[in-house]
Amino acid sequence: MKTNKALLSTLAAVLISGILVFGVAGDNKDKAMHEGTASYFPESVDFAGELTPLQIVDVKERLDRELLINANLDATTALIIKRANRVFPIIEPILQQYGVPDDFKYLAVIESGLINASSPAGAKGVWQFMPDTAKEKGMEVNDIVDERYHLEKSTEAACKYFLAAKQKFGSWTMAAASYNGGMNGLSKKIEEQKVTNYYDLGLTEETSRYVFRILALKEIMKQPAKYGFSIYPSDLYPPIPTKVVAVDSTINDLASFAFSQGINYKLLKIQNPWLRDKKLINPAKKRYEIKIPLSGY
């Protein structure tokens, strides 16, 4: 019995210690978010140059919610900041090429965390395209090749969507919201409620939070130290230099192909996640561009 009591005492001490340590971490985060400023909350925010009306009480509180949630998702948000150093340089020039505001890169952040995510509903990739939508936007989607996992091509497809949505709604903010709520869904809400501004519409829980999540991640990622993230330049994930090998024929064994390029199968798949099988069947002799890493291994 004495041994059991001692064990229980030790466990209790560990638990109490753990709670205290967690509390200190929270205090440090709170201190970091307030140090050197009257408030962590920004004086003004905008999406793609369109000001967010923070003078409206519920708008300010909805942004506050997303700032607090994401600033306290320490590991998740830190990983996103690190990944962005590798992914944003690929996304940014494509947005610019299509005339889509740079802020849309933060939409990719909240869609996938900048990884090739898969949703239970079947959405895939950094931009989370469903199969039919991807095909409508010109992407190849099958068991051999799935271009939803191709960052450049899926970004181009996303840009086409944003431009069409902007033309329909006349607002980049509404274009972003429609990526979650759908163009038809938002049009129906506009018709029912007789207002056209995102911040005036009563929407589903997910869509009503959607733009605020984008704004929050934009704010945190542009000023991570303000929100308690101590990330040094050396912590950021560097871009991986690659060369492109064009192929227009069948590759029966991608592992052997990888070896012929001086790398292994794992590295080939990391750089080309759109290759979904162990081979590339290409009877139509379509031209594919395969990335081969030049360093980082």
Tell me, what's the pLDDT at 295?
81
Tell me, what's the pLDDT at 263?
97
Extents of the domains making up the chain: 46-235, 242-293
57, pLDDT greater than 90 = yes
Q: Quick one: average pLDDT of 12-40?
A: 44
d(CA 89, CA 185): 32
Percent of all residues in the chain with a pLDDT value above 70, rounded to a whole number: 87
Q: What are phi and psi of 19, to 5 degrees?
A: -65, -40
CB–CB of 235/89 below 8 Å?
no
C-alpha triplet 180, 185, 191: angle, nearest 5°: 135
Tell me, what's the pLDDT at 33?
55
d(CA 108, CA 71): 18
Pick from 149, 94, 143: nearest CA to 291 = 149
d(CA 91, CA 111): 14
24, pLDDT greater than 50 = no
d(CA 292, CA 272): 9
Confidence class of residue 31 from pLDDT cuts 50, 70 and 90?
Answer: very low
254, pLDDT greater than 60 = yes
Max Cα-Cα span within the chain: 78
Lowest-pLDDT range, 34-43, 154-163, 179-188? 34-43
32, pLDDT greater than 90 = no
Determine how many CB atoms are found less than 10 A away from the CB of residue 219.
22
User: Residues in the chain, how many?
Assistant: 297
Architecture in CATH for domain 46-235? Orthogonal Bundle (1.10)
90, pLDDT greater than 90 = yes
Tell me, what's the pLDDT at 296?
75
247, pLDDT greater than 60 = yes
37, pLDDT greater than 90 = no
Q: Tens of pLDDT along 175-228?
A: 999 999 999 999 999 999 999 999 999 999 999 999 999 999 999 999 999 999
CB–CB of 293/267 below 8 Å?
yes
Pick from 249, 254, 246: nearest CA to 275 = 254
Tell me, what's the pLDDT at 25?
44
CB–CB of 220/68 below 8 Å?
no
275, pLDDT greater than 70 = yes
Tell me, what's the pLDDT at 287?
97
